[in-house]
Structures are given as C-alpha cells and as structure tokens.
Amino acid sequence: MTTSKSTYSERIKSEANRLGFLSCGISKADFLEEEAPRLERWLNSNMHGEMSYMENHFDKRLDPTILVEDSKSVISLLLNYFPSEIQQDATAPKISKYAYGTDYHFIIKDKLKALLRYIQDEIGEVHGRAFVDSAPVLDKAWAAKSGLGWVGKHSNLLTQQVGSFYFIAELIVDLELEYDLPTTNHCGTCTACIDACPTQAITEPYVVDGSKCISYFTIELKENIPTEFKGQFDDWMFGCDVCQDVCPWNRFSKSHQEPLFNPHPELLSMTKKNWEEITEDTFRKVFKKSAVKRTKYSGLTRNIKFLKD
C-alpha cells in the first residue's frame, strides 16, 4: 500500500519541528496569480529603489515550476529569532534584532538541507531546492498561502500566537503533498505600524515603499543617505524594527532557542560612545559571522555618522 500524501506531510512537519522550526506549512507549487499585478505595480512605482535585482527573474518569482523543474510543492518554514535581551544603552545606535547573532542564511540553509535529506531518506528519490531569502522566491506570499500567517499592513508575515519576529524559508520539491489552507487576516482597523513608521515608508495599508524604508537606507543603499531623511531614523544604524515593535501581535513573541542567534557578548553592552568610536577591529570581532557584515565597516560607520551629524 502506498503511503498517503497526508502521512508524508505529517512526517515532514514533525521533522521540521524536531529541527527547531517554529512551524511548517505546505502549498501547491503554482503560479502566484494574486501577487503578479501587485509585484508589477510595486516595481513600476520604483518602490525597490536601487535594489535592481528585484526586477530580475520576474517569472521565476511568481512561478516556482520555472525556478525548480517538476516542482509540485512549496514547503514553507518559520524560524524564531526574537531575542531574550536587547541593547542596553537606550541612547545607542540600534541594530535590527534579526542581525544580533550568526548570519541566519547559514543556520537556516543547514536546517533545510537536513530536512531535505530526511525527506529523501524517508520517502525516496525526491528532488528539491532550499531557499533562504536570497533567490527570486516571494517568501511571505508562500508562507501565507501555506497557512502560516497573514501579510500584515507593514507587509511582514504575522501569526496570531507568535507575532512576526521570525525568518521565512522554503524547500521547493517535486513531491505531491497535502496542502494547507491560508489563514484569515487579523489586522482589523489597527494602523499602529503605519502611524509609527519614522520615514512614512508604509504608503498605504499593505504597501511599503522600499526606497523610503530605514532598512533599505542602512543596508541596501550604497550611496550617501539622502539628507532629507536627517533626524528621521530613530537611531537605527542597521535595519529597523519599528513596525514590528509596535504591532500588538508581537506581545506574544517568545525568546528563540537557537544558541547561534545569541549576540556577541560585547554587542548588547556597547554604549553610544562605543559605537561612535568603533574601529574596524572591533567591527570584525563583534560581527564576525553576522549579517551586519553585509553593510561592511564603511557602511556601518556611514550610518552612525548620519545619525550623529
């Protein structure tokens, strides 16, 4: 007797849980019909700023069967990164919580590879690819389609029991599985994220102008930050958590259990003065394996100077 799709799906979810993922949802690898006009509008409005890579692989972003040959299912996974402690000096330049510890790309890639190996060992010849936020995959759309949450007005994925401080990743495989149903939207009339955004980057509910977002300015933008945004950064030097921090659903966030996400011991205790005088050696030491390396020492000091001047 052949094992049912639902049994395979249950086993995959159980293994994902054992590997430390917060949750796992599965959807059919199909064209993302609703996302197509939305992505096109966003790109046509130049809301991606200097992130020209967002214009590439338009078809692949919307259709996983072009990205992964013969794909049948998208397995979406969430991994919690909410820290137990935050930076101690309230006046110091701030780093987005997701970047406190070891770069999540490495940690999640290893877990995804382990999950794919498990699927191959348990089920047989299954081909697939792992994706962590660095390929043309619309992570949030797939996670929402797989029932893991809904896309909030700040355009992040939200889940009732756990909020939004988690990473999203996918395995796209050529195996038919049992598919989950999307959940409902629970933002209601709340506009906390829209009201709190320091640069008014949330131009309307569910639409974020990436080219006005503090995360974009402090991470993606390689040129000088436009002077018109002086005094609007709320002390963020790498990324920004404002729209998540004010979201009522994040009252339910619980600390992660992943030791590799714990920050370098020095990071949380650094004062405003420490940051303003940071040397390249300290940068290398504190951010040895961190996602902050992406902005380089020159980028981080540019951001700190922008906050100070």
The per-residue pLDDT for 158 is: 98
Question: Does the pLDDT at position 86 exceed 90?
Answer: yes
Res. 111 pLDDT band, cuts 50 70 90: very high
133 catalytically annotated: yes
- What is the maximal distance between C-alpha atoms in the chain? 71
Cα 132 to chain centroid distance, Å, stands at: 9
The conformation of residue 47, written as its DSSP 8-state character, comes to T
> Average pLDDT in the 70-94 region?
97
Question: Does the pLDDT at position 277 exceed 50?
Answer: yes
> Average pLDDT in the 296-307 region?
97
Question: Does the pLDDT at position 107 exceed 80?
Answer: yes
The per-residue pLDDT for 79 is: 98
Contacts for 182 with CB less than 8 Å, ≥ 6 apart: 144, 145, 146, 147, 150
Give the integer Cα–Cα distance in Å for 162 and 211. 28
Q: Reduce the DSSP state of residue 52 to 3 states and report it.
A: helix
The full length of the chain comes to 309
Write the pLDDT tens digit of every residue in 121-168: 999 999 999 999 878 899 999 999 999 999 999 999 999 989 999 999
Give the integer Cα–Cα distance in Å for 236 and 186. 28
Write the pLDDT tens digit of every residue in 174-221: 999 999 999 999 999 999 999 999 999 999 999 999 999 999 999 999
Give the integer Cα–Cα distance in Å for 86 and 79. 19
The per-residue pLDDT for 65 is: 95
> Using alpha carbons only, how large is the chain's radius of gyration in Å?
20
- Among 96, 61, 33, 67, which residue's Cα sits nearest to residue 240? 96
Comparison of pLDDT for 246 and 57, the residue scoring more: 246
Question: Does the pLDDT at position 169 exceed 60?
Answer: yes
Two structure tokens written together for 216 = 């974009």
Res. 2 pLDDT band, cuts 50 70 90: low
pLDDT, averaged across the chain: 95
The per-residue pLDDT for 134 is: 76
Two structure tokens written together for 132 = 């962590």
The per-residue pLDDT for 1 is: 38
Q: Would you state the torsion angle of the CA atoms of residues 41, 46, 49, 53, taken in this order, to the nearest 10 degrees?
A: 60
Contact of 173 with 268, CB cutoff 8 Å: no
The per-residue pLDDT for 49 is: 87
Give the integer Cα–Cα distance in Å for 167 and 50. 23
Portion of the chain with pLDDT greater than 90, in percent? 91
Contact of 96 with 116, CB cutoff 8 Å: no
The active-site residue out of 59, 70, 133, 195 is: 133
Going edge to edge, which strands form the sheet with 23-28? Answer: 23-28, 73-80, 166-173, 128-131
